[in-house]
Amino acid sequence: MKWILTVFVVAVLLIGAGVVLTDGDGGGDAVSADPEAHLLCEEGMEYLHSFRWNRAVETLSEALELDPTLAEASVGLVHAYANLARGEDAKSELARADSLTAALADDSRRLVAAFRLSRSAGSRYFSMADSLMKSLENEQPRNLYLLVTKARSAYDEGDEELAKRRWKEVIEVDPNFTDSYNMLGYGELNRGNYEAAIDYMQKYAFLAPELANPHDSLGEVYMVVGRYEDAEAQFVQAIQKQPDFYHSLINLGRVHLKRGQVAKGTDILERVRKQVATTDMAQRVDQDIITMYRAGGLDEELDRLTASFVTTYPSSDISPFYRAVRMAYMGNYREGQAVMDSCVSTWRGSSYYAISEKVRFNVDLLARIYDGIVADISGETQTAVRVWQNVVDTIADVLPVRDQADERFAFASALHNNGQHDPALEVLEPLMAVNSRDFKVLELAVECYVATNRPDAARAALERYKWCTERSDPDFPARERAPVLEELVRGIEVDS
Amino acid sequence: MPPERQNSNPLSGFYGLLLSRGAHLSVGIAVVIAVLFCGFDATRTRPSDGTVWSLAGQDLEVLDVLPSGGAAPTPLRRGDIIVGINHRIMPSPQKAAEELRRHEPGQAVDYLVRRDGRQVTMPVPLRSTRVDLEDYTVNVLLASVYLIIGFAVFLRSGNDRPASLFFMLCLAFGLYFMTNLQQTNYFLGALITQNIGAFARFVLPAIFLHFFLVFPTKKLRLTRHPFLAPLIYLLPVMFYIRFTLDQVIGREGAKIDAVTWILLGVYYVLGLVALLHSYFNYRDPLMRQRVRILTFGTLAAVVPFLIFKIGLEELTYRSGLTRLGAVPLVMIPISFGYCVARYRVLQIDLLLKRNLAHGLLSGAIWIVYLGGAWWLGGRVLTLLPDASPLSAAGVTLAVTAVLWPARARLQRSLDLGFYRSRDNMAGLLEEFSKEIPRLLQREALLQRVGGRLVEVLGLPGMAVYLVDGNDDDGVFVLAGAVSGGYAAMTGTEPPAETGDHYPRRLGLPSIAAVLEERGEPFWADAGEALELDERPAITREQAELKARALEQFRLGDIGIQLLVPMITQNRLVGIVALPPRPDEADYEAHELQLLNIVAGQVALQVENSRLYEEEVAKQKLEEEMVMARQIQSRLLPRVIPVFEGVEIQAVNISSKQVSGDYYDMIERDDGVLGIVIADVSGKGMPASILASNIQAALRAQCDNCESPAVVLERINRQIHASTDPQHFATLFLALFDPATRRLRYSSGGHNAPIIIRADSTVELLEEGGLPLGAFDFGSYDEGNVQLEPGDLLFLYTDGLTETKGLDGDEDFGEDRLNDLLREARTDGVTSIFENIGDRLRDFSGRTDADDDITMIGLKIQGADEAAVANAGGRR
């Protein structure tokens, strides 16, 4: 009898524990009374986090059908539609999401949903973004969306280390939050940690196999480190997954150009242009290609495309700049300057210039950059030094160091060309502090060290340079350049 | 229990608990649950990538790659770090296992793997952890056979160590077979199964070895050194601990390596050696036959297992040999089952026919019970919305508890129907346990217990024989017998003896030795005896067997089929002899068990009774001795008469046992002194009484008779008439006239007194006749001696001259006495006595005497001595 009573006591305890735990499960994290809607919503959010926008739309829509009051699903749909560029759908869904969020009885859920909506312009919560963020920091400091927002802010502000920490916090909360790997990958790329960048990008690609962007990102990293074959494969994969993913098409062309396959590269780029000619992206694509041609020194292609751009988009704000640059490249400095002056005065006369500091900054910067370009083309080294110094001074306290790379490099090159090697190194120093493996910067630094007869520093910079080139494809330009630099450094080492 | 024993071993309680039947049963139930779990686990479809993962640390590392076993090989390699599965990053093994569970075996899943510092994506084909259905079915069947036989043995045996070990062996084999699965280490269920399997694989060889060290005979070394048994398990337990640690912190995954397999194989080999050693060391062919089948069954099972399973499959990784190694193992339970049923090894009552029916009906009750609990539990669960697994378990438990009394009642009814006799036996045992200790009278004990046994077992009769005194020759004396008729004689006193056909004495030296050694019932009508009798006896062993066979024939002739030994304190004190049953049926095992237990209890009580009787007799004897000593002391004269010129002294040295020595000094009115010394035959009270009679007669006769010879003749006739011929006395009577120093004497067979003359010559006073009381026709001669000054007359009893020396062979003797007397003749009598006492102590090396010693000294003093004596104030 005793043990029968014992069994009864155990049974009662088990039933009690079961009831308690069941209630706990039901009332804790469930966002819907309908378990199926809850599961669909969770699944939809996973798709959202892994950039599977269409699947997210499907799943979240199903969840909303089962539970029309499910605010979280609606908020998720807003982001999915926005990423799919389905503006109308996003707008109408935003209205529903706003009202559903306002109707949420649970303060915690309402706070999170409102915070997510506050990132979308047009939402009633848009203006409350800062206060909502503070509230969420107090209430749920480990909330995924809060951590993501903070990580993005840190990246935008150029605080690479903080951004890295924030994204890792995001991964701790949700190891499958896809964008965190993308951002961490770019962060590591910017710092010259190419292996880590590749790892993150591979994870990014693994997590979002249906998307073109991860492969494109991975391809970009490969391209930077001179692994052109791998880069090309990734771009091709990206295009296969999303044939209209023009970033990868452009990158594919860029790879060919970098490998010296100009005809093939320009052919691809032209096809891209034709492919997007009738879309909203046409102008953006042309701008990207123009930048590419100018960086690659393809003057002929640059001239042709710039002429085409100015003709095609005469009313575009950037067209006069391109026209002025084209004239400078053609040697018509005076005409070019006139066009540029006219353009700048037009910009400065606009109302945007008056009210927006950012516009003012961009206009002034563009004018100075033009001067630098002209000085470089004309070979006036002293002018170039002065002009580029002007440019760097303009951006030094405004932009993150990583975004000053082109301008600083141009300034350092001008200094180097003008025989001012030590100042050139000083200009390069912040860039090397951020990214100690940037080939272009390292090459210039080695030349400066050689010129200033500093064999140890030259050797150290050269080793970093070679470490990267040894892992690159044979046609990587830096790889061809490495023996030349080696000769230079060995020369001063022998002398010393 | 005495306090010193209670404190002797603080772990004894725990050890006892560990070895208790309850503990074994609990283990059995746990194993059944584990077996069911493993069986259930085997039916789960668990997709596996064919690797072993590291369960500790941050990285999900591939520790080992399992053999593909016909499935598509995995592209994963040892050392790979699994970063993601199916386009999801895997932060832990649990998440990874959850992810795999979403897929089906046969699918290929994308893995993101870090290999050699680089990340690669690869499709990994998933396989199933399920084994081949046919193989596993064979394993399940083997496990079932082991468990059924194991439980049958355990439930039918007492708290017997070999039976318990056999049970454990069967459980371990059951677990071994049920865990023969292709394992993965990242599903909880698979992990549990893998650990159960590993535990069984490590512990199984140790139990195997331990079992065959105690069965069929316990090895002497294990008895002498009890700590050896736990040591057997030390190594396997260490292996298991290492295996467990390897699962968590190991760098190569948990597995049983070749060295471990070899060591475990050695355990099996040692177990087989122990079994064969026991088998070939049986001198008794009957005992050997009892274990022959199981010995060869075990050999036939384990040898293929060692060759195919351990040797080829585990050590050389040759697959496909499972059945060759495993299937023969079924021989172990089958051969044991056969021997249990046929020869009752392990002392098990296995009633196959009844067990089958009982088992089937019990199974039906259990099925109805569990089915009812399941159905009712399901009904109750519908009342609880969103019931969790815990609630479901609670409801199931509650329902099973509610239905348990009904199941127990049904089972009880069934058990009673099948095993009422066993219940009766249990009641009878309880009855005997209460009654036997109260029956101190041996006859009443034997009649009461025998009668009850005859009644309940339905026997025609039975007899109880007890060992004949302290005789070690195997001779038994009939102590009591009852017949079946007594069963009807309720309310009457049991008849004194009703088994007249049983012989009064039984000489069974050979069988007695076997009974004492085995302590088990002995079948007197064993068929093998006939064969033995026909063979010539060449060796001593054969001669013994043949002698036993002859004794068996004798028992058969007098209608005795079964002998149950009565053993107490490892000593055979008697036997219970039982005739064949009237219906020619065999005695059932539980009846034999009952007889064995009751015989043991009766043996103890008989021994107690014997000790009691001995104690009573001893007390009685001691009382007699005290009384006899009192009587004897009264016979001796309180005062020694004193005469001028004569020194007379007497002394009686009593031994522990009161013997019949006696002396007397009778002073007649005419001044003549009668001197008597006698030695009455026998000891104790009879001797004292006879001495008393002789003294009374002598005192009466001496006063009015001048002739000692005549006195002796008269007394001889008187004693002979009043006592039996065994009781007699030697006696010397002398009439001494102090005035004339004349001595007339006659001896009734007594040691001749000695006269040492002053010139040291020796004379013996030998005239007389036969001892008094022995014959009625005796006549006695008479002697006459003149004593002179300086002469010494010395009378004594044979206790003096027959005192044994240190070596135990040589007597003190008359020559030694004569020499001593001659040397001391000039001394006073007291001094002579002291001298003799000293010499006797030196001679015998003891202070106490074997027999009574009585001495009388009479010395005729010279003139000087007389003056000294007178100066001392004597009369």
Shared-domain flag, residues B79 and B146: no
Place of tokens 């405004």: A398
Interatomic CA distance for residues B474 and B507, integer angstroms: 6
Question: Under an 8 A CB cutoff, do A22 and B83 touch?
Answer: no
| Rg of chain B taking only CA atoms, in angstroms | 45
Q: Which residues of A touch B (CB under 8 A)?
A: 4, 7-8, 10-19, 21-22, 25-26, 50, 171, 175-176, 195, 198-199, 202-203, 205-209
pLDDT value for A259: 85
Q: Which residues contact A452 (CB under 8 A, 6 or more apart)?
A: A421, A422, A425
Question: Is B395's Cβ below 8 Å from some Cβ in A?
Answer: yes
Question: Under an 8 A CB cutoff, do A14 and B391 touch?
Answer: yes
Mean pLDDT to the nearest integer, A221-237: 92
Question: Is B401's Cβ below 8 Å from some Cβ in A?
Answer: yes
Q: Give B-chain residues touching A26 at CB under 8 angstroms.
A: 386
User: Residues in chain A, how many?
Assistant: 496
Query: CATH code for A212-308?
Result: 1.25.40.10
- Segments making up each domain of chain A, as ranges: 34-141, 212-308
Shared-domain flag, residues B500 and B549: yes
Q: Give B-chain residues touching A21 at CB under 8 angstroms.
A: 388, 390
Shared-domain flag, residues B124 and B135: no
Mark residue B701 as left, alpha or beta (left: phi above 0; alpha: psi -120 to 50; beta: remaining). Answer: alpha
CA closest to A194 among chain B residues? B118
Shared-domain flag, residues B754 and B822: yes
Shared-domain flag, residues B370 and B236: no
C-alpha B792, offset from chain centre = 66
Q: Give A-chain residues touching B401 at CB under 8 angstroms.
A: 4, 7-8, 11
Question: Is B121's Cβ below 8 Å from some Cβ in A?
Answer: yes
**pLDDT tens, position by position, B578-634:** 888 776 677 777 777 788 888 888 888 888 877 888 888 888 878 877 777 777 777
ipTM of the predicted structure?
0.79
More confident position, B360 or B541: B360
Place of tokens 């272009």: A440
Point out the domain boundary residue: B414, B431, B448: B431
Among A5-19, A233-247, B248-262, B737-751, the minimum mean pLDDT is found in A5-19
The percentage of residues in chain B with a pLDDT greater than 90, rounded to a whole number, is 12
CA closest to B381 among chain A residues? A15
C-alpha A183, offset from chain centre = 7
Q: Return the residue in B397, B407, B409 with the most chain A beta carbons within 10 A, the one to mutate for interface testing.
A: B397
Report helix, strand and coil shares of chain B as percent, to nearest 5.
55, 15, 30
Question: Under an 8 A CB cutoff, do A206 and B121 touch?
Answer: yes
Shared-domain flag, residues B115 and B137: no
Fold of A34-141: 1.25.40
Mean residue pLDDT of chain B comes to 80
Interatomic CA distance for residues A215 and A231, integer angstroms: 9
**pLDDT tens, position by position, B71-94:** 778 899 988 999 999 988 998 888
Question: Under an 8 A CB cutoff, do B389 and A206 touch?
Answer: no
More confident position, B312 or A252: A252
Interatomic CA distance for residues B143 and A211, integer angstroms: 53
SS3 for B298-319, per residue? Answer: HHHHHHHHHHHHHHHHHHHCCC
Question: Under an 8 A CB cutoff, do A206 and B400 touch?
Answer: no
Residue ranges of E strands in B193-332: none
B437 cis-preceded (ω within 30 degrees of 0) = no
Q: Which residues contact A54 (CB under 8 A, 6 or more apart)?
A: A80, A84
Interatomic CA distance for residues A165 and B590, integer angstroms: 79
Q: How many domains does chain B have?
A: 5
Shared-domain flag, residues B795 and B743: yes
pLDDT value for B803: 86
pLDDT value for B875: 35
Q: Is residue B630 part of a domain?
A: no
Shared-domain flag, residues B749 and B782: yes
Question: Is B390's Cβ below 8 Å from some Cβ in A?
Answer: yes
More confident position, B18 or A302: A302
pLDDT value for B6: 41
C-alpha A241, offset from chain centre = 20
CA closest to B388 among chain A residues? A18
pLDDT exceeds cutoff 80 at B43 = no
Place of tokens 């008729």: B485
Shared-domain flag, residues B458 and B322: no
Shared-domain flag, residues B77 and B211: no
Question: Is B393's Cβ below 8 Å from some Cβ in A?
Answer: yes
The answer to whether the CB of B215 falls within 8 A of the CB of B208 is no
Point out the domain boundary residue: B350, B380, B408: B350
Question: Is B26's Cβ below 8 Å from some Cβ in A?
Answer: no
Tally A–B CB contacts below 8 A: 90
**pLDDT tens, position by position, A341-353:** 888 888 888 888 8
Shared-domain flag, residues B381 and B504: no
CA closest to B114 among chain A residues? A199
DSSP B723: S
**CA torsion, points A366, A369, A375, A376, in degrees to nearest 10?**
-130
Paired with B804 in beta bridges are B811
Q: Which two tokens stand for residue B404?
A: 């348990």
C-alpha B647, offset from chain centre = 67
Among A388-392, B41-45, B450-454, B523-527, the minimum mean pLDDT is found in B523-527
Question: Under an 8 A CB cutoff, do A14 and B393 touch?
Answer: yes
More confident position, B285 or A149: A149
SS3 for B317-379, per residue? Answer: CCCCCHHHHHHHHHHHHHHHHHHHHHHCHHHCCCCHHHHHHHHHHHHHHHHHHHHHHHHHHHH
Could you count the other beta carbons within 10 Å of the beta carbon of residue B139? 25
Burial B799-825 (b: 16+ CB within 10 A, else e): bbbebbeeeeeeebebebbbebbbebb
B67 pLDDT band, cuts 50/70/90, is confident
Query: Of B41-45, B260-264, B312-316, B510-514, which one has max mean pLDDT?
Result: B260-264
Residue B358, class by beta-carbon neighbours within 10 Å (0-12 exposed, 13-18 middle, 19+ buried)? middle
More confident position, A358 or B7: A358
Q: Give B-chain residues touching A202 at CB under 8 angstroms.
A: 112, 119, 121
Shared-domain flag, residues B719 and B806: yes
pLDDT value for B344: 65
Please give the residue range of the domain that contains residue B227: 131-350
Among B213-222, B405-414, B555-564, the minimum mean pLDDT is found in B213-222
pLDDT value for A27: 41
Point out the domain boundary residue: B431, B449, B468: B431
Q: CA separation (Å) from A456 to A434, A440, A492?
A: 21, 19, 10
